[in-house]
Amino acid sequence: MTTPQKIGKYEIQGVLGKGGMGSVYRGFDPAISRAVAIKAISKTSLGEDDLKHIMQRFRHEAQAVGRLVHPRIVQIYDYGEDDDVAYIVMELVNGKTLAQHLQQEAGYELREVGEIIRQLLDGLGHAHAAGVIHRDVKPANLLINSDGRIKVSDFGIARIETSQLTQIGDVLGTPHYMAPEQFLGIDIGLQADLYSVGVITYELLTGRKPFVGNSAAVMHQVLNVAPPDPSSINTKLSPLLDAVLQKALAKKSVDRYQRASEFADALQAAIDAALAPVAAAIAAAPPLDGIALMNAARLLSNASEVAQNAEIDLAALLPGDSAISLDTGVKQARLLLVDDEERILTALKSLFRQRYHVFTTTDGNKALDFMSKHHVHVVISDQRMPVMPGVELLRRSYAISPTSVRILLTGYSDLAAIVGSINDGEVYRFISKPWDNTDLQTIVAEAATIGLQLADTKTPVAELPSKTDAGILVIDDDEEIFRVVRELAGRLCPVIYAPDIDAALAVMQAREIGVVVTDVGAGQGQLTDMLKLLKQENPQILAIVTTSASDSELVIALINEAQIFRFVSRPVKVKLLKGHLHSALQRYLTYKKTPELVKAHVVQPAASVNLSSVARRLLTGFKALRGKWF
């Protein structure tokens, strides 16, 4: 298959890899200025008997994996085909595979192995919950991006690389990482994936696979021979790790771990036990910073039970628990950290305790009760918590303390949850786990500065008048949404239509605009840049975005770089849109009454904006609007 210049609408910039039936290309989506990876299969290389079945499998896998939106899984953006090729457009991960790292004889410490496998199992657990089984988990399908985060690739795609659709009796996978049932060709469940993870863990801990030799030799051993204990190869390993790996590599699937989370918990407990002496050394060592500090905090938090057995008084080192506790250090901004995982709270507290008053709790109700009695400058909450989801916590915290700055912290990229967090919780920034310490410290420092500035600001909400001069500008390539908005708000304020960004800029220069309504679906890259630049220069203008897109990364970027006021999914629910329009106008008038409140919506220059000639023209125009109407 020769390298094409374009596949569909995507420009081809290079070859990332080749296979028997197709290739993986580095591509570029010109509509939204995004680099992508494109896996393409050449139809002309397939016989007529195979073509129908393989294309059916390819489409099925694209649809199945396209449902998986998770930070540990390479996301699928698009699928397409023509007479010559079928292709899947995926997230481009800048980094190397775990296999490449192992080929370069990269060595990993015990806690690093634990973190790699934790991320891998997190992604697989999400897939299994959605009914998707990988079937070919191996180092070559695990990407490690430039900041050390794991991305699982080729979910189930390996199953199309046979001339038949997968049936009982097919043998699929890579021999060294295959479970016994895969060799036997019997029905395969999620436990086969967990077996493969066991092989990878074994390899990372010992430097070798549990079974070696050619495919026939490996098959014989997988079916009939117990693997050597890892500690017999690496004498530094604990017998507890032997037990974890032997269970993961059991011959019968029913004897293995039945869920990814079960495997992750058992492995973490064994690693914590092995590192208990390290935890004692960390407790006695001088203070650390950066990544080392977070790692130390994680070890101390997770090793509490083992440490008690070793007579380490962690209670004296880390006061608190699930109750809110006060760090009585420097008198600065107050941070309230809410997460149901104590290890996350410990890591965050260790990161911030020298600069701020830090309060922690695992209980959302305790957090709200505390905020009702004491002013908090910054609230950082996890999203997925059993008692009270982060969205609900932040929504209720806004009602209690509207001048507190809210940050949502989560390890999941669930689009519905993200949109809910913005529409209900008034979030300042969205941060994905695992976080980058430097980025997190910068964002919290910005939030703390804003929180301190707003602490004494009174927040009288402006009444929505029967008529206001501040208008609503609708930017879209057709007039459908404009007509809806005009019907909903035309009696309240001017509603103006602009078919493109140049017309929109002209409108904003000619009259006062308080709210912008636009769509950021596929092909709207210039509009997303416009929203970022507009908020950068005129943070008082509120944006409502309508979209049918399912790209969580795009939404996160708009949250962090454009402070979108509300998101509305298409097809639009009219009643919901009306409420958002009225809320946005009321908020704009409140900002006019109390301009200090706008500080919570100031954004830094958007690094993701490509300053083309159009963007530079917009930036100049938006700078000229400063103070003109507000």
Task: Give the tens place of pLDDT for each residue, 23-50.
Answer: 888 999 988 888 899 988 888 777 776 7
**Mean pLDDT score, 408-436:** 65
Report the pLDDT value the prediction gives residue 170, as an integer from 0 to 100: 41
- 3-class DSSP state of 344: helix
pLDDT > 60? residue 233: yes
pLDDT for residue 111: 84
pLDDT at position 1 over 60: no
Architecture category of domain 319-454 in CATH: 3-Layer(aba) Sandwich (3.40)
Share of the chain above pLDDT 70, in %: 78
Question: Tokens in use for 604?
Answer: 């830094």
Q: Global pTM? A: 0.47
Integer angstrom CA distances of residue 568 from 544, 555, 594: 7, 12, 27
Residues 352-365, mean pLDDT to the nearest whole number:
86
Q: How many CA atoms lie within 13 A of 17 on its CB side?
A: 12
| Secondary structure (DSSP) of 434-470 | SPPHHHHHHHHHHHHHHHHHHTT---PPPP--S--S-
Mean pLDDT of 142-152: 81
Maximum mean pLDDT: which of 288-292, 408-412, 439-443? 439-443
CATH 3.30.200.20 positions along the chain are: 6-91
To 5 degrees, how large is the angle CA 503–CA 506–CA 511? Answer: 125
Residue 205: C-alpha distances to residues 107, 193, 232, 598 (Å):
9, 19, 11, 52
CA-CA-CA-CA torsion sign (97, 261, 422, 546): positive
* Per-residue confidence (pLDDT) for residue 280, from 0 to 100: 47
Q: Is the confidence at residue 257, as pLDDT, over 70?
A: yes
- On whether the CB atoms of residues 515 and 588 are closer than 8 A, the answer is yes
Render pLDDT for 61-97 as a digit per residue (tens, 0 to 9): 787 778 888 888 988 889 998 888 889 998 888 888 8
Please identify which residue in the block is written with the tokens 């770089």.
Answer: 561
Per-residue pLDDT reduced to its tens digit, 573-625: 888 788 889 888 988 888 888 787 777 666 666 555 566 777 788 888 888 88
Least confident window among 43-47, 299-303, 473-477: 299-303
| 278 pLDDT higher than 70 | no
CA proximity to 279, closest of 267, 473, 271, 340: 271
pLDDT tens column, 463-472: 778 899 999 9
Higher-confidence position of 103 and 417:
103
Q: Average of pLDDT values for 160-177?
A: 50
Does the pLDDT value for residue 541 go beyond 50? yes
What pLDDT does 606 receive? 57
The owner of tokens 């930070």 is: 71
Q: DSSP secondary-structure letter at 251?
A: S
Q: State the pLDDT at residue 426.
A: 64
Using alpha carbons only, give the angle 576, 582, 587 rounded to the nearest 5 degrees: 125
What is the pLDDT at residue 10? Answer: 92
Q: Is the dihedral of CA 507, 509, 513, 515 positive or negative?
A: positive
Report the pLDDT value the prediction gives residue 202, as an integer from 0 to 100.
95
| CA 359 vs CA 334, 377, 486: distances in Å | 7, 11, 46
Please state the CATH superfamily assignment of the domain spanning residues 95-274 in this structure.
Transferase(Phosphotransferase) domain 1 (1.10.510.10)
Of 282-286, 524-528, 601-605, give the lowest mean pLDDT range.
282-286
Instruction: Compare 403 and 289 and report the one with higher pLDDT.
Output: 403
- Mean pLDDT, range 504-528, rounded to an integer: 83
pLDDT higher than threshold 80 for residue 496: yes
Q: How far apart are the first and last CA of the chain?
A: 58
Q: Where in the chain is the domain with CATH 3.40.50.2300?
A: 319-454, 471-625
Contacts of 263 (CB under 8 A, 6+ apart): 121, 194, 197, 198, 244, 248, 257
CA 21 to chain centre: 32
Every domain of the chain with CATH number 1.10.510.10 lies at: 95-274
Q: State how far the Cα of 525 lies from the Cα of 485, in Å rounded to an integer.
A: 23
Instruction: Give the type of residue at 487.
Output: E
Annotated active-site residue 84? The verdict is no
Which CATH class for the 471-625 domain? alpha beta
What pLDDT, on a 0 to 100 scale, did the predictor assign at position 600? 65
- CATH number assigned to the domain with residue range 6-91, chosen from the 4 options 3.40.50.300, 3.65.10.10, 3.30.200.20, 3.40.640.10: 3.30.200.20
> What mean pLDDT do residues 480-507 have?
91
Burial class (CB in 10 A: 0-12, 13-18, 19+), 53: middle
Q: What confidence tens digit (pLDDT) does each residue in 373-387 have?
A: 888 999 998 877 777
Give which of 395, 430, 392 is closest to 413, Cα–Cα: 430
C-beta atoms surrounding 52 within 10 Å: 11
Residue 283 — very low, low, confident or very high, per pLDDT cuts 50/70/90?
A: very low
Phi, psi of 513 (to 5 degrees): -120, 125
As a whole number, mean pLDDT of residues 196-206 equals 95
pLDDT at residue 609, as a whole number:
57
Distance CA 428, CA 563 (A): 7
When pLDDT is averaged across residues 410-426 and rounded to a whole number, the result is: 56
Q: 106-115 long-range contacts, Cβ below 8 Å, gap at least 24?
A: 107/207, 108/204, 110/205, 110/237, 110/271, 110/274, 110/275, 111/271, 111/275, 111/295, 111/298, 111/299, 113/201, 113/204, 113/205, 113/271, 114/267, 114/268, 114/271, 115/434
Angle at alpha carbon of residue 508, lines to 505 and 512, rounded to 5°: 175
283 vs 522: CA distance, rounded Å: 52
Collapse the DSSP code of 336 into the 3-class scheme (helix H, G, I; strand E, B; otherwise coil) and give the result.
Answer: strand
55 or 172, which is more confident?
55
Supply the mean pLDDT for the chain.
78
Looking at residue 459, its pLDDT comes to 59
- Mean per-residue pLDDT for 167-179? 64
Q: Which of 272-286, 358-372, 512-526 has the lowest mean pLDDT?
A: 272-286
Residues 553 and 321: their CA atoms lie apart, in Å, by: 34
Instruction: Indicate the residue type of 361.
Output: T
Marked catalytic residue, from 136, 327, 339, 476: 136
Judged by average pLDDT, the poorest of 67-71, 270-274, 299-303 is 299-303
More confident residue, 320 or 494: 494
Cβ proximity of 164 and 170 under 8 Å: yes
